[in-house]
Each structure stands twice: as structure tokens, then as C-alpha cells.
Amino acid sequence: MSEGIIPGFASTSEKIVEQSQNFIPKEPLHAVIWAISGIRLSGAKLALERYEGSFDEIEALQPLAKGESIKASQKDMEDVGKTLGQLLANHGLAGRRLTQLKPHLGDLGHKRSELFEAGKMDELRLLDTILQTLSKPKSKKQK
Amino acid sequence: MVATPSLPDIKEGPEHNFTNAEIVDFSNALRKRIV
């Protein structure tokens, strides 16, 4: 792989995650208070679940198979980075693991439906391939 | 510290071809960093 970086993608997703993580308390006591207060938690859960109108065809992730490839522009990468960053932030705020990912629900389900409806299958499959990797349970070696 | 995840540069045109292997490599690097 070349040394080139797509700043839009990496920086967009990481910036959103970093900003959100600043608000998540690290100390156990603070975490309990955070969970009890529940205000941001509710918002994050809503963002993960409120949309239920996804198409049947994309209910499950549509990742690329071995040997497949897609075409993506800089704008596509930034778009995917933004969606991914917001998703990761909401999972963090709601205290959920990515193994509990529900690709057809919430803001993610809405975004994937928009891409599907617009025929942007390459962008959808780019997003889904990344999500497939991120949501795999970690093996003992990775822990 | 884990290196910043990277994908091939796409300066040469409006669109770039990405293979499954490249995207999975990038995703694994991203996973180590933020998940």
C-alpha cells in the first residue's frame, strides 16, 4: 500500500470520535453518574435506532468479497468518514460495542438507504466493508 | 502509538480504485486506533 493518506477520510472520522470521547467520563463513578443522567445516552441511542425504513436488500452489510474492488472519489471518502465517525461516536456515547452494530437501523440505516436509493453502491460497499471489519469480535490475539 | 491509517492517494484523478484487501487493511489499522 502506498504511503499516501486521504486526510478527509481519516481526519473526519477521527475528529468526530475524539470530540465525542472528550465528553465520555473515564472514571467509574463518573461513568455511573453519566449513565444515570442518561441525556446524551438517549440521544445516542436514538441516533442508533430511530430510523427503521431501510430496504430489505441492504438489511445486512454488503461488504466486498475477496478480489473485488470499488471506485471512490475524495468526496466519497469524506462522506464515508463522516458517517463512520458519527456512528463510532454514538456507539461510544451509548456504551455499545460495535459487535452490536445494527446496519439497517438509525442514522446508519438512513444513510445506507440513501446511498442504495441513489445507486451509489460503491460508496455503500466501501462503508459496509469497513464496518464489517470494525464490528468483528476481537480474537484473543487482538485483545 | 499506531500509525495513522492510510489508503492509496487519489490525487491522480477524481476517482480511485480500491481493492477489498486495501480497505480491510485500512479498517484493521483504524480499528486498532479508535475501537
Nearest to A71 among B17, B24, B28 (CB): B17
Q: Which residues contact B23 (CB under 8 A, 6 or more apart)?
A: A64, A126, A129, A130, A133, B7
* For testing contact with chain A, the best of B10, B25, B32 (most A CBs within 10 A): B10
Q: What is the ipTM of this complex?
A: 0.71
What are the boundaries of each domain within chain A? 7-134
The residue of chain A nearest to residue B14, with distances taken between CA atoms, is A73
Query: Which residue, A106, A130, A127, A100, is CA-closest to A116?
Result: A127
The residue of chain A nearest to residue B23, with distances taken between CA atoms, is A130
The verdict on a CB contact (< 8 Å) between A88 and B10 is no
The verdict on a CB contact (< 8 Å) between B30 and A13 is yes
Percent of chain A with pLDDT over 70: 69
Does pLDDT of A107 surpass 60?
Answer: yes
Query: Which residue, A35, A133, A137, A46, is CA-closest to A84?
Result: A133
pLDDT tens-digit profile of B11-26?
445 678 889 999 998 8
